[in-house]
A = this chain, B = another copy of it.
Amino acid sequence: MSVNVGPLAACCDIGGTKALIGFVDPQGRILARDRYLLGSAREPREMVAELADRLHGLASRADIAWERIVGMGYSTAGMMDVESGVIFASPNQGSWRDAPFKSLLGQALGVPSWIEMDANAAALGEAWQGVGVGADYFVYVVVGTGIGAGILVRGEVYRGWRGTAGEIGHTTIDPNGPLCNCGNYGCLEALASGPAIALRARGAILQGRRTAISELAAGGEITAETVVRAAREGDLVAQEILAQAAEYLGIALANIMTLLSPQVIALGGGVMHGAGDLLLEPIRRAVARRCGSWVDLESRRILLSALGEEAGLLGAARLVWKTR
């Protein structure tokens, strides 16, 4: 089939500050893609109107006839009911509540639409076109500003009752650990997310430890990315901070292995994409130490996401194709 004919899915992955949009064919090829910064217009109807504009503009520039678009897939953070298509609330996106995104999208774009939580969408993308292909039991863990997981069983999202499953970032890893945004102490997110890594680095500097992290930040904000750069340049404090984060991530992944027994765990999100093997290898070693012998780790895989930031976009497209 030519790339100039045939049905296409419109899709987007809405992050905290930017949106990734694109058109994807039934074979998972991204025929066009774009990104834009999310403006201050954060009311649902305005967000959807801007998205429709951006998609029409992209289609026009890529010479894609709008008639080819057969559905829309929308991935975002937040609590939602994917059946009714209502998003109850979304972090960093205004103070609105209970917005009917599925029908707003359908009205604005004129095609059937589906919504999904970002970690679930990334899991669907990775299971469709990435390292989760062929795995009946697959977990995708996103490590970035937050930490979450998408759990797939034979290609279907495991949602749990009322759809709140997968919040690995808020499982307790160290009962005496630091306070988390959620009110609990010692959550994985408070120990190993990007902000947690950055906080640890600032703490080390305040303690007067000898490190090049401040220098690398060059007066800007210290982020997990600064810590990763310092570690790559041999900074011992940065390496120690990442080793600690890897240990906590390893415990969480071992708990997933022990409780859910996936064949493949994929690791994505900004922190993992930035750190790569620097985190992956110590995470694997920690999982091996923390799993009982009956978990046949030699036949299971813990891998970096193959799709990177496109996992969510492809997963959003998958929403369209899997229900047609």
Q: Quick one: given A293-B182, A293-B183, are A260 and B173 in contact (CB under 8 Å)?
A: no
A124 to chain B, nearest CB (A): 18
A161 and B184 within 8 A (CB): no
Give the copy number: 2
A167 to chain B, nearest CB (A): 5
Distance of A294 Cα from B184 Cα, bound (Å): 12
Interface membership of A254, Cβ < 8 A: yes
A159 contacts across to B, CB distance below 8 A: 261
What DSSP secondary structure best describes chain A's contact surface? loop
A161 and B255 within 8 A (CB): no
A13 to chain B, nearest CB (A): 22
Interface membership of A39, Cβ < 8 A: no
Distance of A251 Cα from B184 Cα, bound (Å): 10
A147 to chain B, nearest CB (A): 12
Q: Which of B136, B172, B251 makes the CB contact (< 8 A) with A161?
A: B136
Counting chain B CB atoms within 10 Å of each CB, which of A158, A174, A258, A289 scores highest? Answer: A258
Task: Write the A139-175 contact mask toward B (1 if CB under 8 angstroms, else 0).
Answer: 0000000000100010000111111111110111111
Q: Can you name the residue of chain B whose Cβ is closest to the Cβ of A79?
A: B294
A312 to chain B, nearest CB (A): 21
Which residues, 196 to 235 on A, are CB-close (under 8 Å) to B?
none
Which residues, 259 to 301 on A, are CB-close (under 8 Å) to B?
259-263, 289-296, 299-300
A97 to chain B, nearest CB (A): 13
A163 contacts across to B, CB distance below 8 A: 261
Q: Which of B160, B174, B296 makes the CB contact (< 8 A) with A137?
A: B160
Distance of A196 Cα from B183 Cα, bound (Å): 29
Task: Please list 8 pairs of residues, one from A and one from B, whose beta carbons are closer than 8 Å in the complex, sorted by A's number.
Answer: A149-B259, A158-B260, A160-B261, A164-B296, A165-B259, A171-B254, A171-B258, A175-B247
